[in-house]
Amino acid sequence: MPLTTPGGALFVEGPIEIVVQWVQGQQVRLGIQADDGFLILREELEEGMALPTPSQAAG
């Protein structure tokens, strides 16, 4: 998928899917399913990590 792909295209029948894992009362747990080519990190896990540049990730 090109780096110029609009964000909305990632979710509309695209390579990233948000999944409801469970609902309990007013709490909902969401999951993210994505193609292996995507690196998806929560913000707190990303801090302090050396992430690959787009050219390294394509590579």
* Domain boundaries along the sequence of the chain: 1-38
- The candidate with the shortest Cα–Cα distance to 31, out of 22, 10, 11, 9, is 22
Instruction: Indicate whether 54 pLDDT > 80.
Output: no
Q: What is the mean pLDDT of residues 28-53?
A: 77
Per the CB < 8 A criterion, the answer to whether 33 and 20 are in contact is no
The pLDDT assigned to 24 comes to 95
Distance (Å, whole) CA 59 – CA 22: 36
In sequence order, what are the residues at sequence separation of 6 or more whose Cβ sits closer than 8 angstroms to the Cβ of residue 52?
39
The pLDDT assigned to 21 comes to 93
Distance (Å, whole) CA 3 – CA 52: 14
